Amino acid sequence: MFDHTFIRFTQDGFFPVNMEAVFMEAFNNDLTRTSYGRLKSIETDGVMLNGCFDFDGQKAVYLFNWNMNEPMTASLIFKGESKFALWGKGGMEDTGTTTGLEVLLEAGESKFLIF
């Protein structure tokens, strides 16, 4: 589990992807992100509502597949080489350095990405 890692971070906004306008009206524009830290963009055919988090300048995104019926793959594009650690329900899933990362999310699944 990643709860011991997650608890140190402070909420710093939301990074919606393909959310319908009716849902977006509920969010304060000051909290809505289209990029975050070294994370330039998230591309997917699915719908995501991702949380942005900060811990003393260390950035993280709580990735969430909004669809409770279908899996999805999210393509994360970074601004240059970025170190990352990807946490899932079973613990640490992947670490390394990359300019882009493909993350598979099962229906309704979430993962925590530190970068």
Per-residue pLDDT reduced to its tens digit, 39-53: 999 999 999 999 999
Range of the domain at 77: 3-114
Task: Write down the pLDDT at residue 91.
Answer: 93
Domains of the chain: total: 1
pTM attached to this predicted model: 0.88
Spell out the long-range contacts of 43-47 with Cβ–Cβ below 8 A and sequence spacing 24 or more: 43/17, 43/74, 43/75, 43/77, 44/17, 44/18, 44/72, 44/73, 44/74, 44/75, 45/18, 45/72, 46/17, 46/18, 46/70, 46/72, 46/73, 46/74, 46/105, 47/17, 47/18, 47/19, 47/20
CATH of the domain at 104: 2.60.40
**What average pLDDT is seen over the chain?**
91
